[in-house]
Amino acid sequence: MNPNEQKLDYPWGDTLPNPGSMIEVADGLRWIRLPLPFALDHVNVWLLRDTFEGRDGWTLIDCGVARENVRELWEQIFATCLDGLPIVRVLVTHMHPDHVGLAGWLCERWQAPLWMTMTDFFVATLWSSGNNQKGSRGGESAVEHFTRHGLADQDHLNQIRERAKYYPSLVPTMPHEYRRVTDGESIRIGTRNWRVIIGYGHAPEHISLFDPHTNIFIAGDMVLPRISTNVSVFDYEPDGDPLRLYLESLHKYEPLPQDTLVLPSHGRPFKGLHERIQQQRDHHRERLDEVVRACAEGGKTTTDIVPIMFRRKLDTHQLTFAMGEALAHLNLLLFRGDLVRRTDDDGLVRFYKA
C-alpha cells in the first residue's frame, strides 16, 4: 500500500467479493467485482434493491465488458445474488467498455431500460457500430495522431493500427433506446433518493450518485482510491482540455460530508473523500510542474513526456492511455499560456516553454 492509500479508511479492509458472488455494503446495496482483460484487472458494479414501474428487483449500476467469462460470471450472479428477483433497470455511469460493454445483453435479457447521459449513450452507440474510424484508440487515425506526437516504435504503431475494432469487440451491442440522466436530478432507487452529479474529463458526461441520507457516494471512475483517474486527449479531439474539466469537476464532490462512503469503480470502498480529492490535485500539480521543467530544457513531443510521467514499462494498451494523459497535461499548460506548440520541420508536434 502506498502512503496515499494509508491516509484512507477501508471499512472492509482487504476483503473483496469472490468471483460470481457479492458483498452487501449497505442495506439493499451489493458490491460485485468483474474481471477485465487489462492490467487494470477488475471493475466494480453495484446492485441496488429497487421497485421500478411496479416490478420488484434490482437496479444495476455498470455492466462489465463483453467477454464470455464475464457472461458466465453474470449467470452465477443471477442464480445466487438476486434473491430470485430480476434486474429492472440498468444505469451506466459512462461509455467506457468496462462500464457499458454488456448493457445491450443485460437490457435485452431482463427487458430492463437503460439509463445514461445523452452524450455517452450516443458515443457508445456510434463506436459500438464499428462504422466509425475514430474513437477506439486504434486504426489509421490513431496511428497518425500518435506519430505526429513522436511515437516511432513500429511494434506499438502496428498494434495500435490493429485495434480499430477494439471498442466494438468489448461493446458489441447497445440498446436502441435509453432514458437520459442529467446533472442535479434526483433518481429514486428503492428507498433512497440519489442525487446525480455529472463530472467531466474522464468521459463526456460521467454519472456519479450521492445519497445524502446515508452519505454513500457511487463515484464511478471520477474518484479512485489507489490510481489516478485517466484523463486523456485522443485523435478525435486533439485540442481537448480534459484535465482542466476533470480538476474543475472535483469541486462538485467537495461539499459531500467527511464521513462519505465512496464506492469506486476500481479498488476498494473507502472513506476519506476530501483527502483523496486533495491527493488528486497534488498529483496533477506535480505532473504539470514536471512537464513545464522538461519543456524548458527544449521542445518536447508527447512521447518525450511519457517516461517523465510514467516511470515503468508500458504495454501498448497502457501506452495509449499514457500518451493521452501526457497530452492532456501538455494541452492544459498550452491553453493556460505556460507552453507554446509548433509543428517542426520533421512533422512532429513539440511543446516549448512560453
What pLDDT is attached to residue 2? 79
What pLDDT is attached to residue 65? 98
What pLDDT is attached to residue 293? 97
Distances (CA, A) of 18 to 31, 57, 72, 77, 300: 10, 22, 14, 11, 45
Q: How far apart are the first and last CA of the chain?
A: 39
The reported pTM is 0.96
Nearest by Cα to 77 from 26, 34, 28, 14: 34
pLDDT digits (tens, 9 = 90+) for 10-61: 999 999 999 999 999 999 999 999 999 988 999 999 999 999 999 999 999 9
Is 260 within 8 Å of 212 (Cβ atoms)?
Answer: no
Is 105 within 8 Å of 128 (Cβ atoms)?
Answer: no
The dihedral through the CA atoms of 238, 239, 244, 250 has a sign that is negative
Q: Which sequence spans correspond to the domains of the chain?
A: 3-277
Distances (CA, A) of 289 to 227, 329, 350: 19, 10, 17
pLDDT digits (tens, 9 = 90+) for 205-234: 999 999 999 999 999 999 999 999 999 999
Can you tell me the distance from the alpha carbon of 112 to that of 167, in angstroms, rounded to the nearest whole number? Answer: 23
Can you tell me the distance from the alpha carbon of 88 to that of 98, in angstroms, rounded to the nearest whole number? Answer: 20
For domain 3-277, which CATH number applies: 3.40.50.1000, 3.60.15.10, 3.40.50.850, 3.30.1330.30?
3.60.15.10
Please give the chain's pLDDT, 354 residues, in tens.
678 888 999 999 999 999 999 999 999 999 999 999 988 999 999 999 999 999 999 999 999 999 999 999 999 999 999 999 999 999 999 999 999 999 999 999 999 999 999 999 999 999 998 765 555 557 899 999 999 999 999 999 999 998 888 899 999 999 999 999 999 999 999 999 999 999 999 999 999 999 999 999 999 999 999 999 999 999 999 999 999 999 999 999 999 999 999 999 999 999 999 999 999 999 999 999 999 999 999 999 999 999 999 988 899 989 999 999 999 999 999 999 999 999 999 999 999 999
What pLDDT is attached to residue 137? 58
Nearest by Cα to 115 from 194, 205, 180: 180
Tell the residue number behind the cell numbers 457508445, with chain if given. 124
What pLDDT is attached to residue 77? 98
What pLDDT is attached to residue 139? 85
